[in-house]
Amino acid sequence: MKNLSYISEIYSAVQGEGPLVGVRQIFVRFSVCDLRCVWCDTPGSLNKTKVCLVEQSPGKREFKKNNNPVHSDELIKICSSLDPIMHHSLSITGGEPLLQWKFLKSFLPGFKNRFNIPVYLESGGHKPNELTKVIEYLDFISMDFKLPSSAYCGDLWDKHFDFLKISINSNAKTWVKIVVSNKTDFNELEYALKNIKSVSVSKNDIQVILQPVTAINNVQPPDETIILGWQSSLIGILPDIRIIPQTHKFINQK
């Protein structure tokens, strides 16, 4: 099945998170995730579905149903219909897109050859082995660190550090995003930052984004003074700590 994958939705939109906030992207949201973050805002992508929703014209939000699984050649045709040239990049997201690494290895070379726009990976940052299979095709890597105190996904520290070692030593521009809530334990944030610093010693300009959770499922963001205090403390470890909320929610974009 290396040429076939289950996909949740494909559409054109602005990137709402992280340092590239505001750029226009084609989003390919892959189905299936092996995590269950307490704040997950894409529950429709956690499992395989019979159909994939495909936007018919960029930004118009008219969707047609396409049968799953989708062939890599068909995905290239769908991307073509969304006018890739007007987009900054292709966002491969999910779900956890690296679970589909065999498909990506088949799809990405053809996509890059045809459209010549960058590829932006959004990942839970816990699949280092799978990352190595596709890293040569990636231009941007937005990796999550899931803190046990607030994501409730268990202990992923070693996987995160292995993932970061691989991405930081690649040609892809990498940053770390940490979603924080009013349950976040500052000791975990400090531990994460110290280890990010030691792993990325060759590139100490790595950006770390503290992303206050958008309230969901009784999960609330931290108070303003708390998160500003965290930023002040963490800047002593790494200089580029930014606080960036999910901006696409302000315009009711999915």
The residues of the shown chain that bind ligand SF4, judged by CB under 6 A, are 33, 35-37, 40, 42, 45, 94-96, 124
What SS3 class is residue 213?
A: coil
DSSP 92-127: EESS-GGGGHHHHHHHHHHHHHHH---EEEEE-S--
Nearer to ligand SF4, 70 or 143 (CB): 143
Residue 10 near residue 82 (C-beta atoms within 8 A): yes
Cα 215 to its chain centre, rounded Å, is 19
Whole-angstrom Cα Rg for the chain: 18
Q: Residue 186 and residue 91: Cα distance in Å, rounded?
A: 31
Nearer to ligand SF4, 55 or 96 (CB): 96
Nearer to ligand SF4, 74 or 162 (CB): 162
Residue type, 228: L
Shortest distance (Å) from residue 33 CB to ligand SF4:
3
Nearer to ligand SF4, 68 or 246 (CB): 246
Shortest distance (Å) from residue 83 CB to ligand SF4:
27
What SS3 class is residue 185?
A: coil
Shortest distance (Å) from residue 96 CB to ligand SF4:
6
Nearer to ligand SF4, 74 or 144 (CB): 144
Shortest distance (Å) from residue 75 CB to ligand SF4:
19
Shortest distance (Å) from residue 232 CB to ligand SF4:
28
Nearer to ligand SF4, 94 or 221 (CB): 94
Q: Residue 22 and residue 232: Cα distance in Å, rounded?
A: 26
Closest CA to 107 of 86, 137, 140: 137
Shortest distance (Å) from residue 91 CB to ligand SF4:
13
